[in-house]
A and B are shown apart, each in its own frame.
Chain A
């Protein structure tokens, strides 16, 4: 954190003068809110952006500026990154509350027994089979190590590239490929025996 950022933060936390902090991070928060919608592939409006941008600052200033007081350089992140994390969390909470297009997958999968009754036509059978395999895969993934599981989940569920996963987990890309190779080999082996 440079001296200017430190002054802005201190002024807001200790003197309750937060105008400079608002001005300094106003555009960054707006940009982060937009990106937070984009990376989740969720439709948004200008009103959503304005509402969420204001909500981020409300969260930073409420409870005696608790979220700003919590920030510590020893986390290894800049103040800007900390504010981005709060912005990302705010958007996540907002979408979870609204459950836009069920993007979070909050709606649970329909149990197999119920599907059996619903999908009786011949056309639906391949989809039914696919779902069964998907559920089996999910079950089989429990047999993998948590690192292997996490790497596959971040790629296949969250849509991160292998390079992004390597950077997010602070691992070498070759290490990620090894983990992927091992995990997929194990899963294929199990699938072969189906």
Chain B
């Protein structure tokens, strides 16, 4: 084992759930890598600290810090304009009369046991389209209801036909995509979208 220990291996070593072989390899690595050894030694001391259970902090006191943390943790995706691809043309360029594809953002999210794929296109200066694909174990998920809620009003709800659903002519704003499968709520994907890009919420 040459590369440093990942946090899962470290957790499993401390939690005593590694196999004998894995345990031996981990100890060998710890004896050779000072940085991992330091992390392990400190972790073993900290986990031993048996402090009295701290009671939960009141949310009212943490509301503003929570927003700051969420903002820092949120992912931001910029609009990317994809040029038409023509094999053999080097360098790639757009010829007169040839239109580039609209600026778009693609991302994936896991919602419970479902994999969602989003393709968002800026169709004009003020409008977007959102195409959502939903998969379970790499194949199109069945019996899915997608509800698209826009903050400040606006709801569209559809039953997924095939493995993608397209929502067109939508304004910029804050959206929540809610997924229900067989009457069971699977979860939400929330984001804010504007002319600069998309920020997770």
Partner-B contacts on A (CB < 8 A): 14-16, 18-20, 22-24, 26-28, 31-32, 35-36, 39-40, 54, 57-64, 69-70, 74-77, 81-82, 84-89, 92, 96, 104-105, 146-147, 149-150, 153-154, 157-160, 164, 167-170
Quick check: A82 and B11 within 8 Å, CB to CB? yes
Task: Tell me if B86 counts as interface (CB < 8 A to partner A).
Answer: no
Which residues of the other chain, B, contact A23 by a CB distance below 8 angstroms? 56-59, 62
- Alpha-carbon separation in the docked complex, A105 to B11 (Å): 25
Q: A151 CB to closest chain B CB, in angstroms?
A: 9
Chain B interfacial positions (CB closer than 8 Å to A)? 7-8, 10-12, 14-17, 27-28, 30-32, 34-35, 37-49, 51, 54-59, 62, 65-66, 68-70, 72-75, 109-112, 186-190, 200-201
Alpha-carbon separation in the docked complex, A59 to B141 (Å): 31
Tally A-B pairs: CB < 8 A.
161
Residues of chain B within 8 A (CB-CB) of A168 are: 14, 40-41, 44
Contact B46 A84 (CB under 8 A): yes
The answer to whether B37 touches A85 (Cβ under 8 A) is no
Main secondary structure of the interface of A (DSSP, over half): helix
Chain A residues closer than 8 Å to B111, beta-carbon distance: 14
In contact, A61 and B73 (Cβ under 8 angstroms): yes
8 A-B pairs besides A20-B56, A32-B46, A57-B69 with CB distance below 8 A are A14-B187, A31-B49, A35-B49, A76-B16, A77-B47, A88-B39, A96-B35, A146-B27
